[in-house]
Amino acid sequence: MSLVNIHNEWDPLEEMIVGIADNAQVPAPDRGLFALDYCANVEAESDIPSGPYSARIIEEANEDLDGFAKLLTEEGVVVRRPASTDHSRTFGTPDWTTDGEYNYCPRDVLLPVGTTIIECPMALRSRYFEPFAYRDILLEYFASGANWISAPKPRLLDDAYNVRPESGSILNNHEPVFDAANVLRIGRDILYLVSCSGNVLGLRWLQRVLGDGYRIHPVTGVYEGTHIDTTIALIRPGLVVLNPERMRPDQVPSVFKKWTIIWCPEMVDTGYPWTYPRASIWQGMNLIMINPGLAVVNDRQVALIKELERHDVTVAAMPMRHARSLSGGFHCVSVDVRRSGSLEDYS
């Protein structure tokens, strides 16, 4: 039986990949990294603070990840971790060279849908070969019967990116490009955030690969930043958390027209090491569901925890001290591979 089998974000969790912070660093400067992550905070590519994170940040991040993995194991979840990688090594294509970043956020790399797991065509050059850290795991999934595919590797030339565009997107539509974290699964409905880490061609490629059994809904004009999981957090059928800073009531996706909406309360800032963060304060709503009644939430987000509890959700409050430093909360640092349950239509 395929070890990959998942249809939504809330069914009882059976298997999950949790990231590691080993050797995490800010990659070497290039046009894509500057356009996507840094042009709002620094003047030029050369001002990007490239190099390794401090030993303290890596140690504390790994402590939090290990604590999260331990909680999952205690809940009966099979937990797998990526291989440790030397991210300082240089690599490239005929068109560019770079170095790596980390294996902290598997959510960005791999997209499981049904019994298929997809290596995604990610937007940053520095993450081009990041799927290799999961190769042994993917081989085991394939041996179990899972369908393992990789999207076409994008060229990611300089003209793929627009730095500080006056109009239009930072990410051009020259080839399919998207991070897995641009996607949320709601049974037969799939939400896809069109943003600087996911373009329209990526949406079209995904729809064609998944076929007519799925309906992919573009989420547009909401958030031009990277991923969807600091804007929308799925709790269970009929209950969703939305970001009130990014989404107006008239922009709520039609799949939620009969759902109860929790407009996320004010977030607590968990801090960051530089004069500016790598991720927004909304990392605080980046949560993961172990089952429809149990959420893992950053322990600093007391207001959100109380709101979830008010809707009969039990919360496992856990530390994630460097979510804004390393750009990843509990949803980002994990990818759910298998949940019990079947493919259903929730719309």
At 306 the three-state DSSP class reads helix
CA distance 117 to 146: 7
- Catalytic: which of 39, 105, 120, 332? 332
7 is catalytic: no
Ordered strands of the 239-242 beta sheet: 232-236, 239-242, 260-263
| Among 150, 94, 93, CA closest to 122 | 150
- Catalytic: which of 227, 229, 322, 336? 227
At 8 the three-state DSSP class reads strand
CA distance 294 to 218: 28
Residues across the chain: 347
At 283 the three-state DSSP class reads helix
Q: Which tokens hold the place of 105?
A: 């956020």
Q: Which tokens hold the place of 133?
A: 């850290």
Q: Mention every residue, 6+ apart, whose C-beta is less than 8 A from residue 18.
A: 65, 68, 69, 72, 79, 80, 81, 106, 333, 334
CA distance 40 to 36: 9
332 is catalytic: yes
- Catalytic: which of 30, 179, 189, 336? 179
CA distance 231 to 268: 16
174 is catalytic: no
Q: Where are the alpha helices (DSSP H) in 36-149?
A: 55-74, 135-143
The dihedrals phi and psi of 242, each to the nearest 5 degrees, come to: -120, 150
> Which residues are tagged catalytic?
179, 227, 332
